[in-house]
Chains A and B, each alone.
Chain A
Amino acid sequence: MKKCSLKKCGLVLLAFAFLLGGAGVAAAKDILIVADQYDATTMDPIAHNDVPSSRACYELYDTLVFVDNEGNVSPGLAESWEFLSGTEYKFNLRKGVKFHNGDEMKAEDVQYSIMRATTDAGAKIATYSQNVKDVEIVDDYTIVVHLKLIDYSFFSSLAHSWGSVISKKATEAAGDSYGMNPVGTGPFKLVSWQKGNKYVLERFDDYWGPKPQYKTLEVRSVPEPTSRTIALETGDADIAFPIVHNDLKRVGENEKLVLYRKPQNSTAYIGFNVTKKPFDDIRVRQGIFAALDIVGIQAASYRGIGKVPGTILPSAVKYSINDEIPPHVQDVEKAKKLLEEAGVKDLKLEIWTNERKERVDSATIVQAQLEEIGIKSEIKVLEWGAYLNGLMEKTHDLFILGWVVSIPDPNFAVAGLLETSAIGASNYTFFSDTALDELLREGRSLPDGAGRQAIYKEMQLYLNEQLPMIYLHNDESIAGTQKNVKGFSPRSNEIHSFREVYFEN
């Protein structure tokens, strides 16, 4: 009868479904499983400027120099270097370095990697690459980088993922699909990448440096904080980050786990659109600042994580006086007075933010506190694309955004945010101030030393007075690991490194 065949269909479907399901494979500890928040967008080092992708690139590639948490530079693919002048850096390359495809890394590859970053393909990291004029090949193992302008911050930026050295041959062969087929010199090579879920890297046995002690690195993307913590607790993940505030205690007090906290080089801020009335008036900006209990807002929104910044430079960035500034005190009377002086009455404004929970929370409290001085406000939570687009259109009033300083040089903490030339790019306050621009230019033109330090101190104090933005939060990098995971330490730029990790029984 027909019914029998129906039954058969059902059975086949069932069997099919189970086949699809497959079975999980339990592995010996030759694999490190990391639970990250997001997946990498691309593994092409110059096609992104986001942290998860940078983390992937960090394991796949090497840069000419390495910079540690404290900003100390050490040799990478370049064994040594020499500053020929303010605009000419000479690098002596390491010999015998192999790409994952077996080819040797040569000067040609380095030149190709850096010059490729200056083309449109590198639009996302143009801040770093735009100053490169040329890369000159002296011989197979020597290159000279020529800059357009003196900029001492450029050197350390080479340690950023944009400075990763890629194989010229492999990149040209892969064309547009290079982002999925990376070929670097790093300690790991890509095995598989299931987008939105996980990528699997395998130890590169011809690596020139110290080889990782385990074979496979698996990085899963687990967007839900609760799920990440559970993965850690159940042993499904060896390392998990970020850990959110309400799980801090849970991870910290778990005997099988270790909690790591590290101040992060980032600043979340409440920006003003200074081209729009009345926010072009410094008194209005100061008045609003006075009305806000920033310490309370930060504490309530971030709940024990991070701190309220004193200046624009995060504490770990060179020349920061972040920790020397006394905490801000809410002063409603002062706020009212300042607004009155500015002739502002019945102000109505919008506070924009993206979906990130802490920012929405902050906006919600800011809204409540502004109401106390008679400012009515409306919160608009926008998804990322619409948010950035809206900011470009200059119609916003107040907005909450963050800035991560990937390279611990003070220039990168300020220039992209507030320099006149960054208008139309990432300067969403549209702050354009000749005094600041001059300070930034001077800061770049000086090598590290007391002179440079003085300039950045002045810059920080100047910005605290000008107030194009109210600093809200310096974040922390927080990660949890299994107790047997050793050699891991979160990095303040969030580009955590897994190559030194090993397991202790």
Chain B
Amino acid sequence: MIRYILRRILFLIPVLIGVAFCVFTLLYLTPGDPARMILGDMATENAIKEFRAKEGLDKPFLLQFGNYIYKAITQGDIGRSYITKRPVMNEIMATFPATLKLAAFAIVIAVVVGLPCGILSAIKQYSVFDTLAMIFAMIGLSMPVFWLGLLLILLFSVHLRWLPPSGFDTFKAMILPSLALSAQSISMITRMTRSSMLEVVRADYIRTARSKGQKESVVIWVHALHNALIPVVTLCGLQFGHLLAGAILTESIFAVPGVGRLMVESIKMRDYPVVQGGVLFVAVAFSVVNLLVDLLYAYIDPRIKAQYR
């Protein structure tokens, strides 16, 4: 198992270097001179030249990239923000908790709502509940998060005055953004749980369990659910990864000071190192979550565990 984890981590390195390269290239091609962005429109040519020299922006592309990677690997240094001059890592870590909170909240909501809905839908297949749940799930999937966010603000902040539309400090203020962000995940988890349950409930071993004289509740909640959960857990993990990264729109609607907003602001400000670091960070977080999901997968499915050698 440990060997497997180590191998997975080892495989991650070239992928991340690839990510870094892609992002580096993209930003290199992006119009907008970082020196001018940072020094301001009143800066002299000389100041700009010196800045470029100091930050290595006048070096050839590959050299710049090589330098970046070298520092990242040897010193864990992924550069400093052009704007605040702080290490990029600090900038990201300052905003990451908000994103993590948002994503964690959203995934908790999604699981708490989606899982029971999915199970109930499957148990009562073709019932009114099932039909409604499936239609709502489809609507949830189709709802643009930025529109849902605005509607939630309109309803809960403007009309009902129950919840604040911004400020991510209090529990109350976190409800709307988490809710908006979770909509898609709720839908996906509901659908996935339902179809997985339906498939499992038809499985032969469920019939075996029934033929033992087992109670229906035990059959559903122990035998069926455990098996049905396997793909759902994977989905939840993947969703969590996506939520971490996909919170960009939600963060900008509800003014959540998270990584997503940091990225968008940094793109606008030409703060290259932060954008690079941010994408890299998200990719790492995404990959780590995926790895954790795979490990969790092994934990709940002995068949998979056997393959992790």
Knowing A120-B51, A176-B85, A234-B164 touch, does A227 contact B39 (C-beta < 8 A)?
no
Is there an interface contact between B44 and A126, defined as CB atoms closer than 8 Å?
Answer: yes
Interface residue A384 (Cβ < 8 Å from any Cβ of B): yes
User: Which A residues from 423 to 472 make CB contacts under 8 A with B?
Assistant: 424-426
Interface residue B42 (Cβ < 8 Å from any Cβ of A): yes
Q: Return the chain A residue nearest B299 by Cβ.
A: A2
* Cβ–Cβ < 8 Å partners of A123 in chain B: 39-40, 42-44, 47-48, 51
Interface residue B152 (Cβ < 8 Å from any Cβ of A): no
* Cβ–Cβ < 8 Å partners of B168 in chain A: 197
Interface residue B231 (Cβ < 8 Å from any Cβ of A): no
Interface residue A72 (Cβ < 8 Å from any Cβ of B): no
Return the contact of A222 from the options B158, B167, B300 (Cβ within 8 A).
Answer: B167
In the docked arrangement, what's the CA distance between A500 and B83, Å? 31
Is there an interface contact between A21 and B101, defined as CB atoms closer than 8 Å?
Answer: yes
Is there an interface contact between A227 and B255, defined as CB atoms closer than 8 Å?
Answer: yes
> What 0/1 pattern do residues 166 to 177 of A give for CB contact below 8 A with B?
000000000011
Is there an interface contact between B257 and A196, defined as CB atoms closer than 8 Å?
Answer: yes
Is there an interface contact between A196 and B84, defined as CB atoms closer than 8 Å?
Answer: no
> What 0/1 pattern do residues 198 to 229 of B give for CB contact below 8 A with A?
00000000000000000000000110011001
A interface bracket (residues with beta carbon within 8 Å of B): 35 or more
Is there an interface contact between A392 and B86, defined as CB atoms closer than 8 Å?
Answer: no
Is there an interface contact between A389 and B105, defined as CB atoms closer than 8 Å?
Answer: no
B interface bracket (residues with beta carbon within 8 Å of A): 35 or more
Knowing A14-B108, A21-B101, A383-B268 touch, does A177 contact B257 (C-beta < 8 A)?
no
Hey, which bits of chain A sit against chain B, CB under 8 A?
A: 1-3, 6, 10, 13-14, 16-18, 20-24, 41-42, 47, 49, 120, 123-127, 130, 176-180, 194-198, 220-224, 226-227, 230-231, 234, 236, 383-386, 388-390, 392, 416, 422, 424-426
* Cβ–Cβ < 8 Å partners of A178 in chain B: 85
User: Which B residues from 251 to 309 make CB contacts under 8 A with A?
Assistant: 252-253, 255-258, 261-262, 265, 267-270, 299-300
Q: Return the chain A residue nearest B101 by Cβ.
A: A20
Return the contact of B84 from the options A41, A127, A392 (Cβ within 8 A).
Answer: A41
In the docked arrangement, what's the CA distance between A180 and B90, Å? 11
Interface residue B104 (Cβ < 8 Å from any Cβ of A): yes
* Cβ–Cβ < 8 Å partners of A383 in chain B: 267-268
Is there an interface contact between A425 and B104, defined as CB atoms closer than 8 Å?
Answer: no
Is there an interface contact between A197 and B51, defined as CB atoms closer than 8 Å?
Answer: no
Q: How far is the CB of A119 from chain B (nearest CB, A)?
A: 9
Q: Return the chain B residue nearest A120 by Cβ.
A: B47
User: Which B residues from 31 to 75 make CB contacts under 8 A with A?
Assistant: 31-33, 36-37, 39-45, 47-48, 50-51
Is there an interface contact between A13 and B300, defined as CB atoms closer than 8 Å?
Answer: no
Is there an interface contact between B165 and A24, defined as CB atoms closer than 8 Å?
Answer: no
Interface residue B95 (Cβ < 8 Å from any Cβ of A): yes
Of B41, B101, B164, B261, the most chain A CB neighbours within 10 A belong to B41
In the docked arrangement, what's the CA distance between A151 and B267, Å? 38
* Cβ–Cβ < 8 Å partners of A422 in chain B: 42
Interface residue B11 (Cβ < 8 Å from any Cβ of A): no
* Cβ–Cβ < 8 Å partners of B225 in chain A: 3
Interface residue B22 (Cβ < 8 Å from any Cβ of A): no
* Cβ–Cβ < 8 Å partners of A120 in chain B: 39, 47, 50-51
